[in-house]
Amino acid sequence: MKENKKEKKLKQLISNEIDAQIKKEKAERRKISKLILLGSGDCGKSTVLKQMKILHKDGFSTEERNKFLLIIYNNIIDAIITLAKAAKELNVDIETKNHEFLKEVLNFTKEPEESMCISKELSTKISQLWQDPGIKLCWERGNEFNIQDNSN
């Protein structure tokens, strides 16, 4: 019986502790102002937030920068694959010297979570393919397929 009373008291103490914690968190939450940023896709919502962080907070850490670097690599690979596919589908002529790399690009496989690092060698090859008049023409015809408009 005595033990039961002790247990009850302990439970009450724990419950009070939890209530106090909830109250504290509620007060903290009241201090936070929430802002909803609306707009169609690609209208600049994320960019505005990034600019706020740069201008009014502490900017980006090395870790965050490295994450962006991987996103940039991914976007470059995505773009060159898209352009290579477009060249094939739109029957656009590509210079003979670029045929081998074009084939290579068409065979690139990317796992959704996998980020590809771009080596110096790969970057030189991508630059050379990007200079190809056929690839430039595909870029000009970008409205005929889906490519991010900041890819150039």
Ligand X SMILES: Nc1nc2c(ncn2[C@@H]2O[C@H](COP(=O)(O)OP(=O)(O)O)[C@@H](O)[C@H]2O)c(=O)[nH]1
Closest CA to 59 of 71, 67, 51: 51
Alpha helices in the chain (DSSP H): 2-31, 45-56, 62-89, 99-106, 120-131, 133-140
Residue 36 CB, shortest distance to ligand X, in Å, is 13
Q: Does 46 bind Mg ion (CB under 5 A)?
A: yes
- The answer on whether 46 is annotated among ligand-binding residues is yes
Looking at the Cβ atoms of 123 and 148, the one nearer to ligand X is 148
Residue 136 CB, shortest distance to ligand X, in Å, is 20
- What the block records as the tokens of 144 is 């005929």
Q: Does 15 bind Mg ion (CB under 5 A)?
A: no
Distance CA 21, CA 27 (A): 10
Residue 45 CB, shortest distance to ligand X, in Å, is 3
Binding residues for Mg(2+): 46
Where does this chain bind Mg ion (CB under 5 A)?
A: 46
